[in-house]
Amino acid sequence: MPLICFEWHQRPENVLAGHLTWADYKPSDRPNTVRIEHHKTGEMVPLPLSDQNGALFPELTAYLDGLERLGVPIVLMKPERLRGAKVAVPRPFLLRTARIRVRAAARAAKLPDYLTLAACRHGGITELGDAELTEQGVMAMTGHKTPEAAPPLSEAYGETARHRCAASACFCGVGGTFCARKSE
């Protein structure tokens, strides 16, 4: 889940609510794409998974390609047999459950307390600015409709965000420091 927020800039509440489905990941009509729905803005952002130089998100696609498909949404809790139920059923994460798991994983990795799923998303967006994407380019990739709604790319914001981006990258598995699988 943190890696989805970091790499694909999807809002944590959208990931948890099931807005990223298996039908959005490598759809048959565009198998080199993931479609990211930004529920808040209604934007559907198609992101390429590779280019002429190779895979753009190798850690994330490798993880998803090996993940058991438990239901329509990609992010679900492993099936559990609830009291009185005859079969185990996968369930969506509650925001509270996700926060507890992310906090525990961040502490285990000795990362700062401010590290959240939202910080992972903002860290990924900061990398877009560091890569010198224009404001319009950042808006297109993040599903923001107006420059006012998009995170600022100013130097003042950038220094704080870069510090958080480094922690996010570490936590989200970019660079292999901390495996995202441990937090899900």
What pLDDT is attached to residue 153?
54
Token pair of 7, please? 């790499």
pTM of the model: 0.77
State the pLDDT at residue 154.
43
pLDDT at 176: 37
DSSP state of 180: G
Cβ–Cβ under 8 Å, residues 1 and 12: yes
Contact 4, 108 (CB under 8 A): no
Left, alpha or beta for 149 (phi > 0: left; psi -120 to 50: alpha)?
Answer: alpha
Tokens matching residue 79: 């099936």
- Max CA pair span of the chain: 56
Instruction: Determine the pLDDT at residue 156.
Output: 40
Give the gyration radius of the chain's Cα atoms: 17
Answer for the pair 180, 2: CB distance below 8 angstroms, yes or no: yes
Six-digit token string for 86: 């005859």
pLDDT 10s per residue in the chain (184 long)? 788 888 898 888 888 888 899 999 999 999 999 999 988 888 899 999 999 999 999 989 998 999 889 888 888 888 887 777 788 888 888 888 888 888 888 888 777 777 788 888 888 888 887 788 888 888 888 888 887 777 665 444 444 555 455 555 555 544 433 333 333 3
Given this model, what pLDDT does residue 164 score?
Answer: 54
| Confidence at residue 101, expressed as pLDDT on a 0 to 100 scale | 83
CA-CA distance, 3 to 168, in Å (whole number)? 9
Q: Please list, in sequence order, all residues whose beta carbon lies within 8 angstroms of the beta carbon of residue 162, skipping any fewer than 6 positions away.
A: 126, 130
Question: Measured between alpha carbons, how far apart are the two ends of the chain, in Å?
Answer: 6
- One-letter amino acid of 59: E
